[in-house]
Amino acid sequence: MGQQISEQQVLAALSRVQEPELGGDLVSRRMIKDVQVEGSVVSFTVELTTPACPLKGQIRNETEAAVLAIPGVTEVKVEFSANVRQHAGIPEQAAIPGVANVIAVAAGKGGVGKSTVAANLAVALAQEGASVGLLDADVFGPSLPLMLGITGQPEAVSDAHGQAVMLPLEGYGIKTISVGFLIDENQPVIWRGPMVSQLLRQFLYQVAWAPLDYLIIDMPPGTGDIALTLAQSLPLTGAVIVTTPQTVATIDVIKAMEMFKKVNVPLVGVVENMAYFLAPDTGRRYDIFGSGGAQRVATQLGVPLLGQIPLGMAVRAGGDSGQPAVISDAPDAYAELFRELARQVAGRISIMKYAGGEQS
């Protein structure tokens, strides 16, 4: 009969495994939970900072190897859970109850596929196991109802305090609210800035969002008055900027990024949309909008290039038909690239929040 394996031995072995993004070992970071030893079989849970952790596979391999090195261990069972940290927020920007992170998806100008990226990012985060909301703040061109194939009007109910709140509509595992649900889609939206700001505050604070790990906000394009007011007043964890590779688009991107920096919103990184085109018949790559623009901007401003999404017929068709590309298995839907983008965004936010010393 071999010696009994102890929980202390398991924790000692796991204390040699480093968190690959944040640094520090898994035990001192209090990421190891529920260690159990049954004979020669060891099981435990790793509590991640996001269910969309981009390095989950690496953590699994390294923890398994560390524990299998203990004499007498024949099998290791690793489970994953997630504790998404609450955003501390700036005092004058009221946090949204029950919402851990608020992420702006923005663009220096229109026509770069910002809403497409926002919709697919939200659905991809939900696929990874996160609870996700999507707020369509692009009030003059509310395209998310079409992109997600969601119709209807939000229902008004009373919350626990007797206050009237709207129930967001749901599709593809995410909660969504949009001005597009409230207006006739054939009528132009003629609103002045203060009316828009008031409506968006209702969408933030009078909608039953909770509980959410991530609330994605599809921002109005550009750096105009409404975009600036939103950037200043929202309790934003960070901003993701969408661009195409061409130089004229990246000039506008720098303006957008500078706007967020001026109002102390951290930049999560840059997404290059329509990065290139792969011909379906030959597989040949065409750089229709040039190449390298997003990487130059990211390097110039010291933020990561989070992902490059090619031009794909299925991406465009999915947006028109109400079926996001990330749920498709068509080769030119690039679903796995959208999922990897979601992991990069989630991982980067975890790093930013640990660096800022926020508590859960």
Q: Is there a binding annotation on residue 141?
A: no
Q: How many CB atoms lie within 10 A of CB 266?
A: 17
193 labelled ligand-binding: no
pLDDT at 87 over 80: no
Q: What is the pLDDT of residue 112?
A: 87
pLDDT of residue 93: 58
Q: Parse the chain into domains and list their residue ranges.
A: 7-82, 99-355
Please answer whether residues 132 and 266 qualify as being in contact, where contact means their C-beta atoms are separated by less than 8 angstroms. no
User: What is the 8-class DSSP label of residue 326?
Assistant: G
Instruction: Specify the pairing of strand 285-286 against strand 267-278.
Output: antiparallel
Asked: is 99-355 a CATH 3.30.300.30 domain? The reply is: no
Q: What percent of the chain has pLDDT over 70?
A: 90
Residue 110 labeled ligand binder: yes
- Express each pLDDT in 89-107 by its tens digit: 443 456 888 899 999 999 8
Among the listed residues 179, 194, 209, the one whose alpha carbon sits nearest the alpha carbon of residue 95 = 209
The answer, yes or no, to whether residue 46 has pLDDT greater than 80, is: yes
181 compared with 60, residue with greater pLDDT:
60
Ligand-binding site membership of 180 (annotated): no
- Tell me: is residue 40 an annotated ligand-binding position: no
Q: Which of 352, 343, 357 is nearest to 129 (CA)?
A: 343
Helix ranges (DSSP H) in 46-172: 56-68, 114-127, 144-148
Return the higher-pLDDT residue of 25 and 61: 61
Written out in words, the top-level CATH class of the domain with range 7-82 is alpha beta
> What whole-number distance in Å separates Cα of residue 217 and Cα of residue 163?
24
CA-CA-CA-CA dihedral for 23, 24, 25, 29, to nearest 10 = -110
**Could you write out the DSSP letters of every residue in 6-54?**
PHHHHHHHHTTPBPTTT-SBTTTTT-EEEEEEETTEEEEEEEES-TT-T
Domains 7-82 and 99-355 share a fold: no
Q: Spell out a b/e string for 288-306, using b for 16 or more CB atoms within 10 Å of the CB, else e.
A: ebeeebbbebbeebebbbb
pTM of the model: 0.75
115 labeled binding residue: yes
Please tell me the distance from the alpha carbon of residue 114 to that of residue 219, in angstroms, as a whole number.
8
Tokens of 252: 């506008």
Residue 243: CA count within 13 A, CB half-sphere: 28
What's the whole-number mean pLDDT along residues 302-326? Answer: 89
Where residue 262 falls among pLDDT bands split at 50, 70, 90? confident
Give the range among 11-15, 184-188, 344-348 with minimum mean pLDDT. Answer: 184-188
